Structure 1
Amino acid sequence: MTETFPLSHPISAGDVPPDGETVTFSADETERKALADTFDLDEIRSLDVSFLIKPWRGDGLSVAGTVDAVVVQPCVVTLAPVRQTIRETVDLHFLPEARVREDVSEVSVDPTGEDPPDVFDGDSLDLGAIAAEHVALGIDPYPRAPGARFDPREAGVGDKEPSPFAVLEKLKRGGDQ
């Protein structure tokens, strides 16, 4: 069973013209809400995609372009809403899974070389899943509202226990009392 992602925009590899084609789309309100829930965000205000799709190595596809989004999430200090603009550049190559399985006799990875291609199942590649993945990569994991700062004394944790480093420094200096 194949599960579909909240943002789905499949394209058939066989339908891509030899010179390539530009594909643009925007997530609608339902898709943005579902993605916001998936990524544990307050809101995704916009999500716009522009990809140039070209044939690559015969039956593969090259996907290049941008994913732009505006997300809102809670500040890690105050929980106030923080707005973030995301712009991710995409430059990926894909091969059909069946072809990759045929070419797996020996795997060598060059850490300074080009990334190996990703795979897609059957004849269809989901551009929506690629876009959603790049939005997730662009989300700030620790958003902070302007001017928000954490004061341990205000939180009631500053005067109770010394830091582990202060304890180690005291031991190092020979004062264990």
Structure 2
Amino acid sequence: MPQQVPKPGEFRVSDLSEQRATPFDLQPDAAMRDAIGAQLTLSALRKLRFTGEISPAGARGWTLTAKLGATVVQPCVVTLAPVTTRIDETVERVYMPADYFDHHEAGAETEMPEDTSTEPLGHIISAHAAMIESLSLALPQYPRSQEAELGEAVFAEDGVTPLRDEDTKPFAGLAGLRDKLDKKS
């Protein structure tokens, strides 16, 4: 069986130096940015750069450290107008052999580990996959243009006084009462 040639941004663990860091600089072209933007349901992905290094970590692990820089365009959640966001993030992933992780029986309860940056080590470390995952996690969940105003939606049956946001805040009137009492004193 022929060995699979790694794609750009992928590194065979067997080819990595155990003595020094292996640098990388991923700058996808326009077609690749368009494909990534479509995958992440962005209106546009104007710039994307992922630069860093993969270095040995301990006896059998590897650490990927990188800087993610991107300019993304998403629709505003209120007006659907385009919202441009600049993302600058530091990324760190630790890859450890499978025996590093606790193995549990299928269906058994497990707790979420505190360290979510550690991943199982395979034959290949993909800086490309780490770039897309990091970009996905850094995206604003609810992008909003500066002109967008949420306003207030009021719903009630005919003849019924609608319940407003102020009505659901029982302590809001206390400030006014306190001010009245202070004036009398």
Same fold by TM-score greater than 0.5: yes
Q: Which residue of 1 aligns with 2:4?
A: none
* Offset at residue 84 of structure 1 (A): 0.4
- CA gap of 1:116–1:30, structure 2 versus 1, over 3 A, is closer
1:21 corresponds to which residue?
A: 22
- Provide the alpha-carbon RMSD of the alignment: 3.0
Does residue 78 in structure 1 map to residue 74 in structure 2? no
* 1:4-19 equivalence runs, <5 A: 9-17=9-17, 18-19=19-20
Aligned partners of 2:154 and 2:164 also within 8 Å: no
Structure 1, unaligned runs of 5 or more: 1-6, 170-177
The structure with more radius of gyration = 2
The alpha-carbon distance between structure 1 residues 159 and 124, as it changes in their structure 2 partners (threshold 3 A), is closer
Alignment deviations for residues 77-101 of structure 1 (CA, whole Å, 9 cap, x no partner): 111100001111112210233x446
Structure number with higher relative contact order (C-alpha < 8 Å, ≥ 6 residues apart): 1
Other structure's SS at 1:166 match: helix
Distance (whole Å) between structure 2 residues aligned to residue 19 and residue 54 of structure 1: 6
Comparing 88-97 with 130-139, greater Cα deviation is found at: 88-97
Shift of 1:60: 1.9
What SS does the corresponding residue of 1:128 show, helix, strand or coil?
A: helix
For 1:43, the aligned partner's letter is A
Residues matched between the structures, number: 153
Distance 1:69 1:115 in 2: 23
Report percent identity of matched pairs: 24
Q: Which runs of 5+ in 2 are unaligned?
A: 1-6, 105-109, 157-161, 171-185
Asked if residue 59 in structure 1 is aligned to residue 60 in structure 2, the reply is: yes
Give the drift of 1:34: 1.8
